[in-house]
Amino acid sequence: MEEGRRRRRREAQPQKQSIERKQLLAKAQKQVQKQMQKQQSKAAQRQQNKAAVPKPAKAAQTKQAQARQNRQTAAQQNAVQQNGRVRRRQVEQQTQMLRRQQSDRLYGILKKAGIAAGVVLAAIYVGISIYYSGHFMKGSYMNGVDISGMTAEEAKEQAREQMAAYTLTIHARELGDEVIGGSSIDYVYQENDNVSKQLSSQLSFLWIFRSLFPGNHPVEIDTSYDNALLSQRLQTLSAFSEESQRAPVDAHIEFGKEGFEVVPEDEGTTLKADEAIQLIREALDLGLREVDLDESGVYETVTVRQDDPSLMEKIKPYTEYANASVTYLMGNERVVLDGNTLKDWLTVDADGNLTRDDEVFKQKLQTYVEVFASKYDTIDTYRTMTSTNGERKTAYAYEYGWQVDQEAELAQLTEEILGGKFVEREPNYSSTAHGHGENDLGNSYIEVDLGYQHMYYYMDGQMVFESAFISGKPDGEHDTHVGIFKIHNMESPSVLTGEMRTDGTPEYQTTVQYWIAFDGGIGFHDATWQTMGFGGDLYLSVGSHGCINLPLDAAAELYSIIRWEDPVVVIQ
Closest listed residue to residue 151, CA positions, set 198, 199, 215, 202: 199
The per-residue pLDDT for 152 is 80
C-alpha 76/C-alpha 72 separation (Å) is 6
On the question of pLDDT at 27 being above 80, the answer is no
C-alpha 251/C-alpha 161 separation (Å) is 49
What H or E segment, with its residue span, contains residue 284? helix 273-286
On the question of pLDDT at 33 being above 80, the answer is no
Closest listed residue to residue 290, CA positions, set 170, 139, 384, 194: 170
Contact 547, 555 (CB under 8 A): no
- Per-residue pLDDT of 501-557, as tens digits, reads 888 788 888 999 999 999 989 999 999 999 999 999 999 999 999 999 999 999 999
Kindly report whether the global pTM for this prediction surpasses the value 0.75.
no
Residues 6+ apart with CB under 8 A from 196: 152
C-alpha 559/C-alpha 544 separation (Å) is 20
More confident call, 330 vs 87: 330
3-class state of residue 437 by DSSP: coil
The per-residue pLDDT for 126 is 86
If 0-12 CB within 10 Å is exposed, 13-18 middle and 19+ buried, where does residue 510 land? middle
Tell me which DSSP letter residue 506 carries. B
State the chain's mean pLDDT as an integer: 84
Closest listed residue to residue 465, CA positions, set 384, 537, 572, 566: 566
- Per-residue pLDDT of 98-157, as tens digits, reads 666 665 665 656 566 667 677 888 888 888 888 888 898 888 887 768 888 899 888 888
The percent of the chain in helix, strand and coil, each rounded to the nearest 5, is: 45, 25, 35
Tell me which DSSP letter residue 401 carries. S
Query: Helices 2-52 and 59-132: crossing angle, nearest 10°?
Result: 160
Partnered with residue 571 across adjacent β-strands are: 449
C-alpha 233/C-alpha 548 separation (Å) is 71
The per-residue pLDDT for 350 is 84
If 0-12 CB within 10 Å is exposed, 13-18 middle and 19+ buried, where does residue 485 land? buried
The per-residue pLDDT for 86 is 60
Q: What are the C-alpha distances in Å from 43 to residues 70, 76, 288, 512? A: 10, 10, 101, 173
- How would you classify the pairing of strands 483-486 and 354-355? unpaired
- The fraction of the chain above a pLDDT of 70, given in percent, is 80
**What's the CA dihedral at 33, 38, 42, 45 to 10 degrees?**
90
Amino acid in the structure at residue 508? Y
Taking residues 47-70, what's their average pLDDT? 56
The per-residue pLDDT for 65 is 64
The per-residue pLDDT for 230 is 93
The per-residue pLDDT for 20 is 52
The per-residue pLDDT for 195 is 81
Closest listed residue to residue 233, CA positions, set 185, 267, 272, 303: 185
The per-residue pLDDT for 408 is 97
- Per-residue pLDDT of 447-463, as tens digits, reads 999 999 999 999 999 99
